[in-house]
Structure 1
Amino acid sequence: MYPVDEPNCKTCPNEECGQARYCNEAEIQAAIKDVDRDNDMPLPELIPTRQMAYSSLDSALTEIYVDEDCSEILIEGPSLTEVQKRVVSHYRDVFSGSVYKQLLVSGKIKAKTICVIVFVDGYRLKNMQKAHQVMINCLILNVHPEHRTKEENMIQIGVVLGKPYDLNSYLGPLIEEVNDMYSRGIVIQKDDLEKYRGNVAIVGITGDIPGISKLMVFGGHTSTFGCSVCLAEDYSPVPVSSHGKYFPDLDPIRRAESLINGDPNYSMHGLPDDYANLPTFTGSFFFFGDELHMLGHGIGHLIYKLIHPSTFDFYRALNSSSYTFDFIDGFSRK
């Protein structure tokens, strides 16, 4: 994303990219070298090779907190006293977890702090690698659980077109903005009436398993030490099966220092400074798997193959009575 001299733009982190800074760079250079050009005529406007829309979390939070229809669904987290007295028999919400309690007890957040979880979700629109996109969303935990994941209450930060060379570079502006709201705080007013006064903190980052591995700069679930949370070593079920790796044991939890500084012997290569320097970074549990990503894995890709004529020979539907939805029987030819 260019130009480099603008504060809201970031340069491409791939030094071997090879793309020109601007898609009309040749035109600009030709105009500069044109000896007959009128010096009073401005140069053509520079057009970045690639750019994307990037929403402000600050602005999005303001819209939610000044919306009267949202006032009834906004909540605060439990106080320090409530957390210390509570005996959690089962996990009800993110506020029931050890990460929130750890941050609250340490004084890094307060009950009224706006807690944010960043979602990074890669997907493909078509049956081809070039159609890859990555969606960056924010989930506001101070919205009641019954309304938290509704589309109108989630904040879409941006959509990265194509498979990014460095996914972490796209989260940099968001982390910088949240760090500013954490340290300086925010005040939201409507018609001179104060709606909120406090700060904002990222308490976790999640997504699908490969995406989380990239964010953590981790060897991934196929490596010998493939658990991002603990130091469990893989087990191969030979001779029962030659496929897959299993982690039947719970080993010691990875230390925050090993995540930050890296531990190549255990598939960890060191966190980017953006995460390591977050005041709310808590260690392995800061990056967690979203269980919804584990359901129907790859189902969209299979459905595409099922209905696309070029793959009918390999993927075909049974008769329509075998499914809970309707389609024309002629669809399942062969």
Structure 2
Amino acid sequence: MAEKCLILCLKNQLENMRNAHLSATPLLLMSSQSVSAAIPGLILKENTSTISHESTDGNNNTDLGNSMSEIESSTSTLVFNFSQPSPVPSNNDAKNLEFMKIINDFGISQQAYEKLAAHLNSILGMSTEITYRVCTSYLGKKLLKCFSSIEETVYDVCQNRCIMFNDAEEVACKHCDEARYKNNKTDKDGIPIAEKTMVQIPLARQIALSLANSDTRHEMIYRHNHKQKADDSKADIFDGHAYQSIKHLFSSENDVAISLAVDGFVPHNILGSITILHATVHNLPPMVHYEKSWMLQIVMITGPFTPLDFWSFLKPTLADLKVLQEERMVVIIPTLTICAKVHVLVVTGDIPAVAKLAYTTMRTLESFQNFDPASLSSKGLVGQSPFSSLASFTGPLFFTLDKMHGLCHEIGKQIWRLIGGKYGIKHSLFLPVNVLKEISVAMAATRKTIPTSFHGSWRNISKYSGYFKAVDWADFLLFIVPTLVAKCVRDTTSRETLLGLVQACNLLMSWELSAKEQISIKRYV
């Protein structure tokens, strides 16, 4: 698991390997790509100089016995030394790194990798002049570690992924009682071997590598140079309350503003769930930082179920954030020493994720009908969020819904459910089955004429709504609802309300909002 994640993390770092040049770019897991641009003309390798730190255990909403209301950690500065050059790969090593990148780009399985390598090597072996051989996947992983500036951190986890073990004294999962270690098995140093492990790519190290890149560091000064607009228009997160209320915490041009996002999902045709934690660096210009190549992937939690102790997986990141906001990080490169603090502006995700992050209760129909004022859960909170101990914490608005989930998945999908009769056929937005089929056929028929700039699939929504991604729901919400759907809604008030909602969503997806448009959004909703 750890080695697989490392390969995925280093994906874009291989871009510059063809001519035996190595970047020091941290890369992300799964579909996310590189975190920062390559360091041109400079081959770096991090010295082991980070200061260790500890923090208390985290827990989720189901276990409030040991509340993580405060993130305790040492106040030692985190030091990242990139002043020493790393080895340059040979031509054959560079070819193998490029080969592994191709394998990863196209999602080729390890079994297919091994067969391809064996077949290619049998062909290469027929030549007496060619010395190059395709490495096995095992040797490829060793090669990646040798030439990478990334240092993953491996943690023991419950066999069922209930929790991540953060203390040496923990020998079994407190939820399912599964053992942490294999029976009577130790490594060469006599240390017990864990049943399951996982990899995390420390947030601090990823940001440090971004700051070590002179080009990226120059772009990241965007935050420092940003000026709030006098006309109250909103073109960036720095124009809003989340940043303006804590602007005084940023004392250096290199200080970093980030947001954290949690996304949990169940892949199609695959048993189990995946929960991802990643960060966005808002110091970069708006047209840059939203791209997936600049997302900082921190952890990917896979397992048969959603983790029961979600906060245990966030413990190392929360401890780092505590140090980064108070004592800052020091990044050493051959020509410069950079000091920077890191502050979280907001945390985001879908509704269940935000509820978990904020320690709020999820509401049900029964909770509204049977309200109990004496119940703690009826008051909204079931505990104190660990994020509340951060200096940048601003209250309820610290927890936000992102556009992808809040507008696309939630509103777009809910409109489809409304017109489809999920909430009753007497609803004023309900449309008969034959009308829904006509809308679906019309959607599919437009595929041939849709410009390539549209990223949605434009498939038959009646058949494939369960496979729709956020971009598909966005296309449905912004283009299908105001045209094909709205004209079929007979009730005038409902139709106007629906069109107003679509217009509000359309404005919210804009790159910039004028003061007038902000007022319009409030009027529409």
| TM-score in same-fold range (> 0.5) | yes
SS in 2 for 1:168: helix
- Please say if 1:161 is aligned against 2:299: no
Q: Distance in 2 between matches of 1:47 and 1:161?
A: 20
Q: Distance in 1 between matches of 2:178 and 2:225?
A: 52
| 1:215 alignment counterpart | 357
Partners of 1:223 and 1:179 lie apart in 2 by: 39
Runs of 5+ in structure 1 lacking a partner?
A: 32-40, 226-233, 236-261, 303-315
SS at the partner of 2:405? helix
CA distance in 2, matches of 1:42, 1:191: 37
Paired residue for 1:188, among 328, 331, 338?
331
Cα pair 1:3 1:11 within 8 Å, conserved? no
Partner amino acid, structure 1, of 2:340:
G
Q: How far apart in 1 are the matches of 2:391 and 2:366? A: 31
Partner of 2:240: 97
Specify the alignment match of 1:310 in structure 2. none
Q: How far apart are 1:203 and its partner, in Å? A: 1.8
SS at match of 1:268: coil
**1:1-334 matches, cutoff 5 A:** 2=156, 15-22=174-181, 24-25=182-183, 27-28=184-185, 46-77=192-223, 87-104=230-247, 107-110=248-251, 112=253, 113-127=255-269, 130-162=271-303, 163-194=306-337, 196-220=338-362, 222=364, 264-272=377-385, 274-297=386-409, 322-324=445-447
Residue 297 to residue 270, structure 1, CA distance change in 2 (3 Å):
same
Q: Distance in 2 between matches of 1:10 and 1:203?
A: 35
Deviations 1:116-135 (A, max 9, x none): 1111111222246x421011
Letter in 1 for 2:267: L
RMSD between superposed Cα atoms in Å: 4.1
The CA distance in 1 between the partners of 2:244 and 2:358, in whole Å, is: 23
C-alpha distance after superposition, 1:52-78 (max 9, x if no partner) = 111112211122122244245322435
- d(CA) in 1 for partners of 2:172, 2:251: 36
> CA distance change for structure 1 residues 3 and 263 in 2, over 3 Å: closer, same or farther?
closer
Q: Report the structure, 1 or 2, having the larger helix content.
A: 2
Q: Distance in 2 between matches of 1:73 and 1:47?
A: 44
How far apart are residue 275 of structure 1 and its match? Answer: 1.6
Give the counterpart letter for 1:50 in structure 2: K
- Structure 2: runs of 5+ lacking an equivalent: 1-154, 159-164, 370-374, 417-436, 449-456, 464-525
**Residues 116, 139 of structure 1: 8 Å contact kept:** yes
Partners of 1:65 and 1:100 in 2: how far apart?
21
Q: Residues of 2 paired with 1:214 and 1:12: CA distance?
A: 26
**Structure 2 Cα separation of the partners of residues 213 and 281 of structure 1:** 16
Higher relative contact order (CA 8 A, sep 6+): 2
* Aligned partners of 2:219 and 2:284 also within 8 Å: yes
Q: Which amino acid aligns with 1:183?
A: E
Query: What is the TM-score with the length of structure 1 in the denominator?
Result: 0.65
Q: Structure 1: which amino acid aligns with 2:383?
A: G
1:230 match:
none
Alpha-carbon distance change, 9 to 161 in structure 1, aligned in 2, over 3 angstroms: farther
Rounded Cα–Cα distance in structure 2 between residues aligned with 1:121 and 1:214 = 11
1:167/1:215 contact within 8 Å kept: no
Partner Cα separation in structure 1 for residue 292 and residue 219 of structure 2: 14
Q: Secondary structure at the match of 2:286?
A: coil
Q: How many Å separate the matches in 1 of 2:168 and 2:300?
A: 15
Using the alignment, how far apart are the partners of 1:167 and 1:98 within structure 2?
Answer: 28
Question: Helix, strand or coil for the counterpart of 2:245?
Answer: helix
Alpha-carbon shift at residue 288 of structure 1 (Å): 0.6
Give the corresponding residue for 2:500.
none
- Aligned residue for 1:60, secondary structure, equals helix
The verdict on how the C-alpha distance between 1:16 and 1:58 changes in structure 2, with shifts beyond 3 A counting, is closer
Is the 1:263–1:270 Cα contact (8 Å) retained in structure 2? no
CA contact (8 A) 1:118 1:204 kept: yes
* Structure 1 contact 79–111 (Cα < 8 Å) conserved: no
Match of 1:92, SS state, is coil
What percentage of aligned pairs have identical amino acids?
Answer: 19
**1:119-172 residue CA offsets vs partner (Å, 9 max, x unmatched):** 1111222246x4210111010111111110222211100100121112222212
Alignment partners' CA distance in 1, 2:441 and 2:170: 51
- 1:217 Cα deviation after fit: 1.8
Q: Distance in 2 between matches of 1:60 and 1:136?
A: 14
Q: What amino acid is the match of 1:279?
A: A
Deviations 1:213-237 (A, max 9, x none): 1122211254789xxxxxxxx79xx
Task: Read off the aligned partner of 1:172 and give its amino acid letter.
Answer: K
Residue in 2 aligned with 1:243?
none
- Residue of structure 1 equivalent to 2:508: none
Alpha-carbon contact 2:360-2:382 (below 8 Å) kept: yes
- What letter is aligned with 2:447? T
Aligned counterparts of 2:223 and 2:172: Cα–Cα separation in 1: 38
Deviations 1:13-45 (A, max 9, x none): 9623111111x22x34xx9xxxxxxxxx96875
CA distance in 2, matches of 1:161, 1:209: 20
- Structure 2 letter corresponding to 1:70: T
Q: TM-score, normalised by structure 2?
A: 0.43
Deviation at 1:7, TM superposition (A): 6.7
What residue number does 1:238 align with? none
